Amino acid sequence: MATLNLQQQLKLGLKLTPQQVQYLKLLQLPTLALEQRIKMELELNPMLEIGEEPDLSIEQEEPTEETPLNNEEKEDTIEHDTYTLEDYMNDDLAGYKSPEAVNPDSDDEEWEPPFPAEVPLSEKLLSQFKLLDVDDEETLLAEEILGNVNEDGYLSRDLGLIVQDLNLSFGLSISLEKAEQVLQKILLLDPPGIAARSLQECLIAQLRAGSYPHALKELCIKVIRDHFDTFKLKRYEQLQKELNISRDTLKKVVETIQHLNPKPGEGKFTTHENYVTPDFIVEKDNGDFTIILNDRNIPPLRINNAYKEIIMQKGKKASPEAKEFVKKKFEAAKWFIASIYQRRETLLKVMRAIVEKQRQWFEEGEVLKPMIYKDVADIVGVDISTISRVVNSKYVQTEFGVYPLRFFFTSGLESENGEDISNQAVKQRIKEIISSEDPTKPLNDDQITDMLRQEGIRIARRTIAKYREQLGIPIARLRKKI
């Protein structure tokens, strides 16, 4: 027979209110995403509107000892359980200032000249192709091929499928051989190598279109076509034996191929541009730093005056549904404005802490100190997760360029004299060592590790390998030059 057991447990937990969740979500949004979030909230909540200053109070005559409220006047106020509407409006929002009030110079924007309109590279190539002796079918093929070229300049779709689509769409009977002929013509246009299907095809097209000595050109094409793997791995001794050429000739071949462009369409083929909008601007002023939150496009918010007038109409009782609607929307509007303000304050506190901890970098543009999220969290007085949300997808504009906030957080290594060195400084030193090495005898990771240990930096070989890969530097054998 089953028995019932009663157990008592004591648990300690933390539950976030919906308002706290909203604040944390707003905290991790970068400036552009915050603009979109505000626009969406303005559409969803009729109690919110854009105003010069947030107006969060309903003007009412305050009861005094001489003029107490009578019963009829009490019925005209909207009650929210034990809180009145005035309580909701005044809670936590005293002292809120709009972005314009905090940053009075926000209207003094620097003028940026507009970018001139440019003709896409695909149209330039098509214009070049039309100048050749081609028919309508070939022009149609060229148009379709160029329409399937990616940002690097490579054909991203199978040529056979392109031909098949054209034949089905236009009722044509274009052969794959004809499409291949059209592709070969496109490969030789300016810049050459566009619409190639592989790196080898791209490099060979550039060699054929270039003005190189005939013997050198044919030798380079032979290397790419027949010995490409050996060339990629920089096995120059083996390549010299297979081609039966002198060391000087091999050097000319290698230099010629290395000067070719592996991505002929990069930065040219598409008109798409990626811009980073900094969330902070740090400027040096008389030996000190001024930190500006780049929120000039964030509109100031306030409670909708039209709804306030409806609430303030005396002699008319609102329905329970209207009361509930006003209560929910007003509370949501109040907390949204408070979250925007709190987000601003937290972001500025975190940025100030970063500048103070990395003051030397902001003054000189080099030498980052070891700094982790906990260091800033202790200064600001918030949790580490809050710092992580602030740093997420945020950028700062300095006199040395635009950097992500994560750039300033680096782990440290202890040197033999007891000082902490940031991993960024170690990476910079590795880069300097490799840049000054003998290109015919490049240093391997073990040798770099020994050199750093002689300088007092204790580091493992696997850490050197990891940092080298993060810097995009290949292994010693692939750095070897003739």
Ordered domains of the chain (ranges, CATH): 18-58+80-105+298-336 (no CATH), 122-258 (1.10.10.1330), 411-482 (1.10.10.60)
Q: What is the DSSP string of 87-121?
A: HHHHTTTTT---HHHH-GGGG-PPP-PPPPP---H
242-246, 274-278, 314-318: the lowest-pLDDT one: 314-318
More confident residue, 122 or 119: 122
Q: What is the average per-residue pLDDT within 314-335?
A: 76
pLDDT of residue 97: 41
Answer for the pair 302, 54: CB distance below 8 angstroms, yes or no.
yes
User: 325: exposed, middle or buried (C-beta count within 10 Å: 0-12, 13-18, 19+)?
Assistant: middle
Which residues are CB-neighbours of 191 under 8 A, at least 6 positions away? 153, 261, 264, 265, 268
* 3-class secondary structure, 239: helix
pLDDT reported for residue 273: 55
Percent of the chain scored above 90 by pLDDT? 39
CA-nearest of 385, 392, 405 to 21 is 385
285, β-bridge pairs: 288
d(CA 431, CA 427): 6
Averaged pLDDT, 404-422: 74
Is pLDDT at 473 greater than 70 in this prediction?
A: yes
pLDDT of residue 379: 92
Q: Are 246 and 173 in contact (CB under 8 A)?
A: no
**pLDDT (tens digit per residue) in 58-73:** 443 333 333 343 444 3
- Are the beta carbons of 128 and 142 closer than 8 angstroms? no
- For the chain, the straight-line distance linking the first and the last C-alpha, in angstroms and rounded, comes to 87
In the chain, the percentage of residues whose pLDDT exceeds 70 is 79
**Average pLDDT score, the chain:** 81
Question: Is the confidence at residue 39, as pLDDT, over 70?
Answer: yes
Mean pLDDT, residues 298-308: 78
Q: Which pLDDT does position 45 carry in this prediction? A: 87
Question: Using H for helix, E for strand and C for coil, what is the string for 22-91?
Answer: HHHHHHCCCHHHHHHHHHHHHHHCCCEEECCCCCCCCCCCCCCCCCCCCHHHHHHCCEECCEEHHHHHHC
Tell me what pLDDT residue 63 has: 36
- Identify the pLDDT of residue 311: 58
pLDDT bracket for residue 14 (50, 70, 90) = low
Model confidence band, residue 57 (pLDDT cutoffs 50, 70, 90)? very low
pLDDT at 66: 37
- Higher-confidence residue of 273 and 188: namely 188
Write down the pTM of the prediction.
0.57
Q: What pLDDT does 309 receive?
A: 62
Confidence band of 318 (pLDDT split at 50, 70, 90): low
Contact (CB, 8 A) for 233 and 220: no
What mean pLDDT is predicted for residues 137-163? 93
| Backbone dihedral region for residue 38 (phi beyond 0: left; psi -120 to 50: alpha; all else: beta) | alpha
Which stretch, 1-5, 22-26, 301-305, 343-347, has highest mean pLDDT?
A: 343-347
What is the pLDDT at residue 353? Answer: 94
Per-residue model confidence (pLDDT) at position 182: 96
Give tens-digit pLDDT for 367-409. 788 888 999 999 999 889 889 989 988 999 999 999 999 989 8
Check whether 253 has a pLDDT greater than 90.
yes
